[in-house]
Amino acid sequence: MRRRLLLGAALATPMLAAARLPRAAAPFPSPVALVVPFTAGGSTDIAARVLAERMAPRLGPQVRIVVENRAGAGGSVGSDYVRHRSADGTTLLMATASSHGSNPAALPDRTPYDPVRDFSPVAVVGGGPLVVVVPLNSRFTSIAALLAALREQPGRLHWATSGVGGIGHLTGEAMLARAGGLKAEHVPYRGGAQVMEALAKGEVDFSLEVLASAAPHLRDGVSRGLAVTGAARHTLLPEVPSLAEAGLDGFDITTWNVLLGPSGLPKDVLGMLSAAANAALAEPDVRQRLVAAGVDPAAPSTPASTEAFLRQELAKFQAAVRGAGLKLDG
């Protein structure tokens, strides 16, 4: 009897020890689709490709992250596509200030998703200001001169943006409202490249474009920057003042990119994605490549702080819509 008890105990010991060992973590699913809700070549697309390249090895040696461009409706098409994917980590979204800020604020009836509730926040990637741009041969050599002309000729000047309800449109309307309810004729184009071409040809008097789209034209002397929309001057354009410097105290509207997944991502998957994104964003080479694309890399973030950022930015754009009295639906 004693021998049987000792043998049973000896057999049970390794079984109990094995039961106490943690299970090996399941490998991260692959491939992962990172959806960019705009066409290839822009700052959002470049940021997504840089991030995908450096996030993938941190999720596992066999993991691939493939960038998919699903453009349309100011980012709404690609965003709505991601909203309907399985919440398992295999589909992510490089959201933007247009897809998850200005569009939902200005066009709520045409935005088929809730920009916060319908997504799982992963990490803030980065952002940057917009630039008030005029043609190189424009008679306006300063932001003060442009605002003065707008006051003297209400509704006579024409300004261009990349689309109704987009980041440039709302930021421009906010600028006009804050400068005293100024009026100008808004001319929407299909994208930043078309806007900058229209400026170069003198088809419009000014525009508000994201730094990534405007910087090459400013650098090549095709157009001239009068002001940036961030709280302070930008390192890429140190000679260009901020709108706050020009008298619009506290003016601070920027574009941004945020990494999201479908609503309901499991905590362990969300944690892995957040850690991989933040580790990639900490790499000096990644930061340099983002800056070159016109995206200032964000500080480290968590899913909770990313959600708070989204809510704060959405509220800012909703306030801009109310302040400008915009009614774009119906």
Inside any domain, residue 7: no
pLDDT (tens digit per residue) in 129-152: 999 999 999 999 999 999 999 999
CB burial of 159-187 (b: ≥16 within 10 Å; e: otherwise) equals: bbbbbbbbbbbbbbbbbbbbbeebebebe
- Both 112 and 163 in one domain: the answer is no
In percent, the amount of the chain with pLDDT more than 90 equals 71
Range(s) of the domain holding residue 201: 129-228
**pLDDT for residue 200:** 85
The Cβ-side half-sphere exposure at 221, using a 13 Å CA radius, reads 0
The predicted structure's pLDDT at residue 4: 45
- Whether 295 and 160 share a structural domain: no
Residues 133 and 223 in one domain: yes
Q: What is residue 241's predicted lDDT score, i.e. its pLDDT?
A: 96
Q: Is the pLDDT of residue 207 over 60?
A: yes
Tell me whether residue 246 is in a domain: no
pLDDT reading at 41 higher than 70: yes
- For residue 136, what pLDDT is reported? 92
Tell me, yes or no, whether 133 and 220 share the same domain.
Answer: yes
Q: Kindly state whether residue 317 falls inside one of the protein's structural domains.
A: yes
**Domain containing residue 223: CATH number:** 3.40.190.10
Q: What does residue 220 show for φ and ψ, rounded to 5 degrees?
A: -85, 0
- Judge whether 263 lies within some domain: yes
Q: Is 141 in the same domain as 177?
A: yes
Instruction: Give the pLDDT mean for 239-243.
Output: 96
Measure the CA–CA gap between 209 and 215, rounded to whole angstroms.
9
Comparison of pLDDT for 197 and 66, the residue scoring more? 66
Domain total in the chain: 2
What confidence category does residue 164 fall into, taking pLDDT thresholds of 50, 70 and 90? confident
Residue 305 tokens read as: 């702080």
| 134 and 224 belong to one structural domain | yes
Query: Per the domain annotation, does 4 fall within a domain?
Result: no
Confidence of residue 231 (pLDDT cuts 50, 70, 90): very high
Given a cut of 50, whether residue 9 has pLDDT beyond it is no
**Which pLDDT score is estimated for 27?**
84
95 and 177 part of one domain: no
* 3-state SS record for the chain: CHHHHHHHHHHHHHHHHHHHCCCCCCCCCCCEEEEECCCCCCHHHHHHHHHHHHHHHHHCCCCCEEEEECCCHHHHHHHHHHHCCCCCCCEEEEEEHHHHHHHHHHCHHHCCCCCCCCEEEEEEEEEEEEEEEEECCCCCCCHHHHHHHHHHCCCCCEEEECCCCCHHHHHHHHHHHHCCCCCCEEEECCCHHHHHHHHHHCCCCEEEEEHHHHHHHHHCCCEEEEEECCCCCECCECCCCECCCCCCCCCCCEEEEEEEEECCCCHHHHHHHHHHHHHHHCCHHHHHHHHHCCCEECCCCCHHHHHHHHHHHHHHHHHHHHHHCCCCCC
On the question of a cis peptide bond just before residue 57, with omega within 30 degrees of 0, the verdict is no
pLDDT number for residue 329? 58
Say whether both 48 and 87 belong to one domain: yes
Q: Are residues 113 and 54 located together in one domain of the fold?
A: yes
pLDDT over 60 (residue 23): no
- Arithmetic mean of pLDDT over the chain: 89
Cα–Cα distance measured from residue 308 to residue 266, given in angstroms and rounded to the nearest whole number: 19
Question: Mean pLDDT, to the nearest integer, of 36-55?
Answer: 92
Taking a C-beta distance cutoff of 8 angstroms, is the pair 83, 254 a contact? no
Among 165, 194, 228, identify where a domain stops. Answer: 228
Let me know whether 122 and 258 are in one domain. Answer: yes
Terminal-residue alpha carbon distance, the chain = 87
pLDDT, tens only, 264-307 = 999 999 999 999 999 999 999 999 999 988 899 999 999 999 99
Q: What sign does the dihedral 299-226-223-37 (CA atoms) show?
A: positive
Percent of the chain with pLDDT over 70: 91
Q: Does residue 219 share a domain with residue 70?
A: no
Is the pLDDT at 3 greater than 80? The verdict is no
64 domain-assigned: yes
The verdict on residue 51 lying in a domain is yes
CATH code, domain with 316: 3.40.190.150
Among 228, 244, 265, give the residue marking a domain's end.
228
Residue 327, pLDDT score: 73
pLDDT tens-digit map of 68-122: 999 988 899 999 999 999 999 999 999 999 999 999 999 999 999 999 999 999 9
At 191, the pLDDT band (50, 70, 90 cuts) reads confident
Residue 139 is assigned to a structural domain of this protein: yes
Domain check: are 117 and 263 in the same one? yes
